[in-house]
Amino acid sequence: MNYKSTRGHDVPQTFSEILLGGLAPDGGLYLPQQYPQVSADELESWRKLSYADLAYEILARFCDDIPAEDLRALTRKTYTPEVYCNARAGDNTADITPLRKLGDEAGAPLYLLGLSNGPTLAFKDMAMQLLGNLFEYALARAGQELNILGATSGDTGSAAEYAMRGKRGIRVFMLSPHNKMSAFQTAQMFSLQDPNIFNLAVQGVFDDCQDIVKAVSNDLEFKSRQKIGTVNSINWARVVAQVVYYFKGWLLATDGPGQKVSFCVPSGNFGNVCAGHIARMMGLPIDKLVVATNENDVLDEFFRTGIYRVRKAAETYHTSSPSMDISKASNFERFIFDLLGQDAGKLAQLFRDVDTKGGFDLSGTTDYERIRQFGFVSGRSTHDDRVATIRDLSARYGVTIDTHTADGVKVAREHLSAGTPMVVLETALPAKFADTIREALGREPERPAAFEGIEALPQRFEVMPADAAQVKAYIARHTGL
């Protein structure tokens, strides 16, 4: 299995060659030269596999340059009930991603897929824990070190840091928007005292952080000298690790071959739902991929109108579902590449337009008309919607959900089809967003015992302006390279 860039860089790369990097040399994102196909018979044969062994079966199709016994050992080391131990009462932790039925609405079974039972209570742990083990394995095999540069709007940072803390040969430099995360999210990251973890609070919004990461990645000389890698959702290994739980969710929601399932995905950077798109391209019987946004509705606007219009920092709202406060979806390019029939030249021009004109317009084109063939629909949710949905699920089903998952449930309900299961991906546990839970329910959300009092722990971070040059200087000072 070799990989190519969405923008046409034509030097084939193996999985291990792209594992530690981010952008391709031409600024594009990596995709496999072809999507491996999974037959109905293969799907049925996977019904009794553990999550770890299911992950092996899927990942082996994308990374055939890692010996099978090593890859299986890595997935079994990663996906254990001991690591993913924060499930709700009544959920089976052995499933790793337990499926909980809420009820039947409009003739459709409505489910939550629990992706937030890992060390940081967010779905990012599903891929990041594997990434930490893959990185350590690959670096040890090559005798190398790696300096990870990432940007987070809330959950990626803590998931990356908890996955990489104490790992040999790895440092993490994580950028986050200063004073824009919840108190719980901030404490999860900034309370870590591990010497290989560096937190930089950038004076700006998430998109400023992401732009800095891209600017550093595009400085090829600096990137090479400083041994820079990425764990943001543009990293292919992270995307493909997320593909696994779509297969697991489908297997848990069905009992026979060919049955269609829809998935609703709270979306900001498009990495999570991009994994669903890839699963569908591999042959998983997905009916709809429902993109749920908050007030930062760039993606909803595109799927409704064909217009992709990036918002400026001043136009990006700070909301109660802050991990989706994103106006430039970095993984969106992967889907657009497929939508354009993998025309790299056309894709490159569109994303030059993003850089120079702030977006592009496919409305009225045959490309836009093809979107429905890929199963995508969308909707948006507001703060009032989140509060109402949290109250409704608590009253109706006795389940408390976080703000991002509430966005997902609200939009999922707008796209139900009788007889077709709708699986909403639960993106975080409610303990991470206590302010809105208190507003909605008048009480504190439950939190695992290990996280009691985390906000009171000492914090270690550095405030920095939104300036790529200053970030590069900081990295160089702390690596000594």
Nearest to 399 by CA among 107, 126, 113: 113
SS3 301: helix
The yes-or-no answer on residue 328 being catalytic is no
Distance (Å) of CA 280 to CA 16, 45, 97, 126: 24, 18, 19, 19
Residue-wise over 288-306: b if at least 16 C-beta within 10 A, else e?
A: bbbbbbbbbbbbbbbbeeb
Integer Cα distance of 432 and 334 in angstroms: 30
Give the angle subtended at the CA of 200 by the CAs of 195 and 205, to the nearest 5°.
Answer: 155
**Contact indicator for 214, 480 with CB cutoff of 8 Å:** no
Distance of CA 270 to the CA centre of its chain: 7
Residues forming beta bridges with residue 173, ordered by sequence position: 149, 198
Among 4, 124, 180, 432, the one annotated catalytic: 124
Nearest to 94 by CA among 51, 132, 53: 51
Integer Cα distance of 395 and 413 in angstroms: 17
Take residue 95 and report the two structure tokens written for it.
């499933």
**Contact indicator for 407, 324 with CB cutoff of 8 Å:** yes
**Contact indicator for 137, 160 with CB cutoff of 8 Å:** no
Going through 96-230 in order, the beta strands assigned E by DSSP cover: 99-105, 108-114, 146-151, 170-177, 197-203, 228-229
Where does residue 119 fall: left (phi above 0), alpha (psi -120 to 50 degrees), or beta otherwise? alpha
Contacts of residue 433, defined as CB under 8 A and 6 or more positions apart, other chains included, come to 182, 184, 320, 321, 402, 403, 445
Distance of CA 111 to the CA centre of its chain: 20
Give the angle subtended at the CA of 158 by the CAs of 221 and 154, to the nearest 5°.
Answer: 90
Q: What is the DSSP string of 199-258?
A: EEEEES-HHHHHHHHHHHHH-HHHHHHTTEE--STTSHHHHHHHHHHHHHHHHHH-SSTT
Contacts of residue 271, defined as CB under 8 A and 6 or more positions apart, other chains included, come to 233, 234, 238, 239, 242, 330, 331
Integer Cα distance of 478 and 472 in angstroms: 10
Residues forming beta bridges with residue 99, ordered by sequence position: 113
Q: Mind telling me the catalytic residues?
A: 124
